[in-house]
Structure 1
Amino acid sequence: MCLKSRLFDSHSSRADKPARRAASPASRKQRSVPGAVLTAVTMVGAVLATAAMLAGCANPAGAVAPSHSLMTPAQVGASASASSTPWPASDWWRGWGDPQLSGLIDQALVQQPSLQSVQARITQAQAAVDAAGAARSPQVNASVDLSDQRFTKTGIVPPPLAGAIRWNNSAQIGASWELDLFGRQRAALDSAIGQWRAAQADAQAARVLLAGNIASTYVNLARLIDARALSQQALQQREQTLALVRQRIVAGLDTNVELRQAEGFIAQTRVELETLDESIGRTRHALAELAGVGPNALGEVTPQLASVTTAPLPAGLPADLLGRRADLVALRWRVEAALKDADVARAQFYPNVNLVAFVGLSSIGLDRFINAGSETFGAGPALRLPIFDGGRLRANLSARNAEIDVAVDGYNAALLRALREVADEVTSLQSLERQQRSQADALQAAEAAFDLATQRYRSGLGNYLVVLTAETNVIAQRRAAADLKARHLNAEVALTRALGGGYQQQIAQQPESKASA
């Protein structure tokens, strides 16, 4: 149930009132246009005063209020002292010194379909902003209605129209403007702007994610190609060992057992090469998909990552991360949008005031439509106030307040996850640097042991089992070193992405929210 009041000062056409000739001359007196406008202005003032008084009757009390608050950097242990660490550049991949990688990422950022769909969502959000802004402007429309109709004999229409068939005509231009006295339309516009800002941040987050995924896939391709090179090296090494075993068999130092073992390891290595070729092909296809091209468009791309340098690690959890992570910025804007949606729901409790005016022609009979006396006009305010709705508005406000808590919780969870990602990758990089130093020592020792075992075996002092053990160990250490290199590069990519991937929110776009209070 709602209270509706429509106070209208209007002038109607004389051409459609032939039955009112018996009325008194005073009742047929027409107001002048200035007089009508003055009366309408007076009524507007009266309606505004009434709205101010009735606003006190609106009662959103009883709605469930939002109870959650945004986490601050201090609450999660972020430190301003860590902000001195150099942040990643927006084109951080160029620092890896591989033109192929730069070309792939540049190409993907232009033509990847997933990014194009994100851009479409920005356009959609912009349209919502435009629609919300348009609702705050005066609305003007026009209508024309020409109908040949029979008037009833048993209704309120008196003779000579009763039972007659006449043209009933009207043409009208109308205008209306809702006075945003309680901020409902402003809040709706702010909510749409918040969603638009969130869509923009989502687009940047998608770009960061895509660049990181391409770099990670590129590193994985480099790892597989390195592994294939090591397997090819192992194949050559085992073929040399097989030749040595055959020489020892001729000399009577070995048997066919050692020969069959050496041949078996060669066959096993060839299987490894085929498996790696399959993985390399599939990884190239995945890289092409990420770049937004067909699976065979990249050809035999081979990574060249020898000049990658390690980025400096942050000394702690940087407080500036909140404005450097596009996903956090998007969630922050969604909190703002949820707050404004609650303001819209709250404003529904208060009076809605519209100013309406029209001017046009109206007549019964087509021949009178454009004659003098067919003009009609009117102007005045309209007031609407909800009185009883069974709790619908209160439930709607409670739902919007709950959405605030959901948005706040989503932001807080993402903030904790972002800080954990930074801490994890810093820990991994520090550990990987130590592992690589130890692995270099292990590889050096394994290669020395293999050389000694081979020399002793060639001179007849050792046996095949010692050579086989040393050979297996040196191959394993080489593969471990290559894997650590790839893990280090992937950790570099992950840390760059965790630090925002070069995104930086503009200060003017930083939302201010009472949810953090």
Structure 2
Amino acid sequence: MAAQPHRPYSGLSFVLPAIAAALLLAGCASTRGLAPQGHAVEADALASSRSLEPHALSDAAFPAADWWTALGDPQLDALVREALQDSPSLAAADARVRQAQAQAGLADAARGPTLDGSAQYAVAQLPKTLAPGEMSDKVMHNTVLTVNFKWPLDVWGGKRAEYEAALGQARATEVDAQAARLALAANVARGYVALAQAFDALDVAQREQARATRLHDLGKQRVDAGLDNQLQLRQAESLIASARQQAQAAQQEIDAGRNALAALLGKGPDRGLEIARPQLLQAPAPALPGVLPSELLGHRPDVVASRWRVEASSRGIDAAKASFKPSVNLSALAGLASVGLSDLFSSDALLGFGGPAVSLPIFDGGRLRSNLAARDADYDLAVAGYNQTLVGALHEVTDAVQAARALDAQIASATQARDAAQSALDIAAARYDAGLGTQLDVLSAQRPLLQLEQQLTALNAQRYAATIDLDRALGGGLAPAGPDAHPRSDTNPDLARAPTP
């Protein structure tokens, strides 16, 4: 029989039918009935205009990046800068960012071709029981040099989707790191306000102790003169002891506040001893940009991070769907092999193998469907997290601005009441000095003054805290980049309608 002529592309006659058969069998693994259920909420659909409108100013801007400077204390500014430089919590957030970026890099690398090289030298000796005759007991030297090429073609875009999903998670982690910085700055500012409140409470206790001491001295004079008895003296001593206890409690709060700030700075407790008394100057009036709530999405790092996770989960669904379809891989192996080094680089030592390969799922026990169902659930969880974060963001903004307005009114009323109580005490003390009044009159006037001074201390601290909460709720001057909106009806049409920062 005559030899058939060599046809270099005759292998295509086998490959093309194989691909066609693979496409026909692909229906054995179906995505039928599987789809995500989550629906992203439109920000403007969350009714907030009636709650925010009385406080909104159309020309008001979002907070500046250094929003804490509005409180007017240079020491606070320095503490926040120190915390943002040295805090271990931020180092952990940065490490998570690098970890997520590395995962995205791995997903990207899986999309491209690989080329591996290997070299092997082996010595073999076959026993007579396996190779009788001339081959037995003969030592053979084998040398093999190979280059292996592999390229999994991304025909359906599944590997790209996996990469984009990992990239979306990395972007979310980057925004999380920004959120961690915002949270740390807010915690330092809040701790600083608590320290200021503790110092103010110490002042109140010391003033009360001074008033009680004066009352005691006056009472002693009256006892010595025979005008009063020991009862009034003991009552004054009780007031002094009570004020002293309040001063001791305030000092404990000061020590605890300094320790807490030192920990936020990532330093030991001795660093807290260097923190001087806060000198907060002002709590700015609350103001809201008139573009809320839609513009809030681009300024809140937690909302932007949640939006990135929705996008990443959506791409994960695309990747899972692509695994239902046939995969095509190109591979080639080329090298040199010989039983001796002298023949290794001769034409007879050439070694080669390669070509395209097609594979597809036919029966996998439900693995692919379960994987897609899990990706759908991941998407639903991401959407639910996004919706909850958005609702929580508007809640925080509304709470902060309403609290600031209400506290301003309460502080004004409490200040008026405190001034009236001080006048009443001055009158009662003057009458007692002149012998026209009793110690009971002084005690009755002194008690509400103490309560009002303590109340004002707490209200002022709450007012500063409301300023911090509002700046944080409005994003703290950050504007993290969010994913672009683009409709993808093949995954979930609701994603195209979801609000994008």
TM over 0.5: yes
The whole-number CA distance in structure 2 between the counterparts of 1:251 and 1:386 is: 107
2:141·2:339 contact (CA, 8 Å) conserved in 1? yes
Matched, 1:252 2:252: no
1:275 pairs with 2:245:
no
Q: 2:300, 2:478 within 8 Å by CA — same for their partners in 1?
A: yes
Cα distance in 2, alignment partners of residues 350 and 83 from structure 1:
55
Q: Deviations over 1:77-104 (max 9, x none)?
A: 2569868332111110122221110100
Consecutive unaligned residues of structure 2, counting only runs of 5 or more, are 488-492
Task: Indicate if the aligned counterparts of 1:68 and 1:408 stay in contact, CA closer than 8 A.
Answer: yes
Deviation at 1:252, TM superposition (A): 2.4
Contact 2:29/2:361 (<8 A) preserved: no
Partner of 2:469: 494
Aligned residue number for residue 243 of structure 1: 217
**In the alignment, residue 230 of structure 1 is paired with which amino acid?**
V
Q: Which residue of structure 2 lines up, in the alignment, with residue 70 of structure 1?
A: 40
Q: Is residue 207 of structure 2 the alignment partner of residue 233 of structure 1?
A: yes
Change in 2 beyond 3 A, CA 1:63/1:159: farther
Change in Cα spacing, 1:437 to 1:143, as seen in structure 2 (3 Å) is same
1:203 to 168, 173, 177: 177
Which residue identity does 1:343 align to in structure 2?
D
Aligned to 1:106: 81
Query: Are 1:317 and 1:422, in contact at CA under 8 Å, matched by a contact in 2?
Result: no
Moved more, 95-104 or 216-225: 95-104
2:300 and 2:107 map into 1 onto residues whose CA distance is 28
Q: Does 1:369 align with 2:354?
A: no
Question: 2:403 matched to 1:428?
Answer: yes
Aligned to 2:296: 321
Checking the alignment, whether the CA contact within 8 Å between 1:332 and 1:511 is kept in structure 2 is no
Q: Quote the offset at 1:59 in angstroms.
A: 3.6
Structure 1 contact 44–381 (Cα < 8 Å) conserved: no
CA deviation profile, 1:394-417 (whole Å, cap 9, x unmatched): 111111111111111111111111
SS at match of 1:297: helix
Q: Deviations over 1:261-314 (max 9, x none)?
A: 101111111111111111101110100111122111141421110244324245
Amino acid at match of 2:98: T
Q: CA deviation at 1:358?
A: 2.1
Task: State the partner residue of 1:408.
Answer: 383
CA shift, 1:446, in A, is: 0.4
CA displacement, residues 235-280 of structure 1 (integer Å, 9 cap, x when unaligned): 1111111111112212322110000110111111111111111110
Q: Which residue of 1 aligns with 2:147?
A: 173
Match of 1:462 in 2: 437
**Where does residue 363 of structure 2 map in the other structure?**
388
Distance in 2, matches of 1:266 and 1:122, equals 57
Contact 1:63 1:394 (C-alpha < 8 Å) held by counterparts: no
Partners of 1:215 and 1:88 lie apart in 2 by 15
For residues 244 and 51 of structure 1, the distance between their equivalents in structure 2, rounded to whole angstroms, comes to 108
CA distance in 1, matches of 2:70, 2:401: 19
Question: 1:341: how far off?
Answer: 1.4
Residue pair 1:174, 1:358 contacting (<8 A) in 2 also? yes
Per the TM alignment, residue 152 of structure 1 is displaced from its structure 2 partner at its CA by 8.0
Q: Residues 319-345 of structure 1: CA distance to partner in whole angstroms, max 9, x if unpaired?
A: 211111101111111111111111111
1:294 is aligned, of 255, 268, 272, to 268
Q: Contact conserved, 1:355 with 1:380, CA < 8 A, in 2?
A: yes
* Alpha-carbon separation, structure 1, partners of 2:452 and 2:312: 55
* Aligned mate of 2:196, from 217, 222, 232: 222
Whether the aligned pair in 2 keeps the contact of 1:78 and 1:316 (CA below 8 Å) is no
Secondary structure class of the residue paired with 2:347: coil
Asked whether the 8 Å contact 1:108–1:292 carries over to 2, the reply is yes
Aligned residues: 485
Which structure 1 residue ranges, 5 or more long, are not aligned?
Answer: 1-23
Match status 1:50 vs 2:20: yes
* Aligned alpha-carbon RMSD (Å): 2.7
Comparing 227-236 and 70-79, the one that deviates more: 70-79
Q: Call closer, same or farther: CA 1:161–1:334 in 2, change over 3 Å.
A: farther
363-372 or 254-263, larger mean C-alpha shift: 363-372
Pair 1:397–1:162, CA change in 2 (3 A): farther
Instruction: Report the CA distance shift for 1:470/1:78 in structure 2 as closer, same or farther (over 3 A).
Output: closer
- Aligned pairs (5 A) from 1:473-484: 473-484=448-459
Partner of 1:182: 156
- Residue type matched to 1:462 in 2? G
CA contact (8 A) 1:62 1:394 kept: no
The one-letter amino acid of 2:410's match is: Q
Tell me the residue number matched to 2:490.
none
CA displacement at 1:57 relative to structure 2: 2.7
Please show how residues 55-204 of structure 1 align to structure 2 within 5 Å: 56-57=26-27, 59-78=29-48, 84=58, 85-150=60-125, 161=135, 165-204=139-178
Amino acid in structure 1 at the alignment position of 2:461: A
Task: Give the conservation status (yes or no) of the 8 Å contact 1:55–1:351.
Answer: no
Q: Could you tell me whether the CA contact under 8 Å between 2:57 and 2:287 is conserved in 1? A: no
Q: Given residue 394 of structure 1, which amino acid in structure 2 is its aligned partner?
A: R
Report the Cα distance in structure 1 between the residues aligned to 2:473 and 2:221, rounded to whole angstroms.
57
Normalising by the residue count of structure 2, what TM-score does the alignment of the two structures yield?
Answer: 0.90
Partners of 2:420 and 2:484 in 1: how far apart?
56
- Cα pair 1:349 1:385 within 8 Å, conserved: yes
Shift in Å, 1:167:
2.7
TM-score by length of 1: 0.87
The 1:383/1:220 distance shift into structure 2, 3 A limit, reads same
Q: Could you say if the C-alpha distance between residues 425 and 316 of structure 1 is closer, same or farther in structure 2, counting changes exceeding 3 Å?
A: farther
Aligned-residue offset at 1:150: 3.9
Q: 1:338 aligned to 2:313?
A: yes
Identify which range, 91-100 or 257-266, moves more after superposition. 91-100
Counterparts of 1:256-267 in structure 2, within 5 Å, are 256-267=230-241
1:126/1:300 CA distance change after superposition, 3 Å: closer
Quickly say closer, same or farther: Cα 1:61–1:137, change in 2 above 3 A. Answer: closer
Matching residue's letter, 1:67: Q
Whole-Å separation in 1 of the counterparts to 2:345 and 2:43:
72
Of 268, 285, 308, 1:310 maps to 285
Distance change >3 Å, CA 102–CA 95, structure 1 → 2: same
Contact 2:26 2:324 in 1 (8 A): no
3-state SS in 2 of match to 1:145: strand
